Amino acid sequence: MISPVWQLQGHNARLHIAPLTAAIDLLRPALGLAELACEAHFLGNARVLGVELPSSAAVRTDSLLECYVRGSDLVAAYKESDNWPVRVDATWRAGSSLVSNGPLARVELVVSVRTERLDSRPELSVQTAVPTGDVLRLVDAGNARFESLGRKGPCVIDPEGGPGCLVFRLAGSDLSYAEMVHPTDFVEDRLSGMGESQPIFELRHRLFQDPLEKGVILRARVCGMLLRRDDDTRTAAQCYAAFSAAEPPLGA
């Protein structure tokens, strides 16, 4: 019997997709997937693919409309608030590799927004924080060329400088973590570093910056994956090419 990818108890879920395990509290979606472990590496302070809503409603039990597991998907719906009249549906989709000899594990986050108002501002952020020795950005997708961002201070990453694809070489392990925004959804990312002895880099994807009208559903996709260090940039570039070409999942 195949073990379920997600185990959901109340508003807490655990992910098991060999060799990765993780946990998420759906009442605190901004923290994303935490307690990450992969191949005997416990990625202590890492938290990835969190959905940060611009209201305090996400920490209240009644703001979580529903949550359930559908195959390899974990789905959560968050209701509108008076201050921010936007419904959010988030799907964390644990998937197989997009390419041969691909990543160790992969999760795609699909975020959808809708409103009952004639006009609203649906902007929100997807955020990740990982302990990192170095950060590299894909600057030329055609030639799979990356450039190191080193340990710069806060910086803005936009489409003029290349795709929205970063590789984080995780501190204290032989693993890397890559995260990428689908090119149709990439508007602006912000990267900042925190800490000296064990630097943690935080990445925020700003999504849905255009107004939202009643009757319209907008979707955005962000994909995260764990890679082996010795071939991380090649694998990340291949996965970015496949992710960019992939059609949006039905019903997400």
Q: What is the pLDDT of residue 56?
A: 46
Residues 154, 192 contacting (CB under 8 angstroms): yes
Overall number of domains in the chain: 1
The whole-number pLDDT of residue 158 equals: 92
Residue 236 lies in a domain: yes
Print the domain residue range for 180: 52-245
- Is position 139 within any domain? yes
Specify the pLDDT at position 88. Answer: 96
| 143-170 exposure pattern, b = at least 16 Cβ within 10 A, e = fewer | eeebeebeeeeeeebeeeebbbbbbbbb
Q: Is residue 59 situated within a structural domain?
A: yes
What pLDDT is recorded for position 60? 65
Q: Tell me the per-residue pLDDT of 160-193, one tens digit each, with 9 for 90 and over.
A: 989 999 999 998 889 999 999 999 999 999 999 8
Low-confidence ranges of the chain (pLDDT < 70): 1-4, 55-60, 96-100, 151-153, 194-198, 250-252
C-beta separation of 92 from 29 below 8 A: no
> Is there a domain that residue 2 lies in?
no
pLDDT value of position 57? 45
CATH number, position 237: 2.70.98.10
Q: Which residues have a Cβ under 8 Å from the Cβ of 152 and sit 6 or more positions away?
A: 191, 193
- pLDDT at res. 90: 98
Residue 10 lies in a domain: no
Could you tell me if residue 250 is inside a domain? no
Domain for residue 214, yes or no?
A: yes
pLDDT of residue 1: 38
Q: Evaluate the CA torsion angle 120, 109, 40, 100 in order and state its sign.
A: negative
Residue 64 domain-assigned?
yes
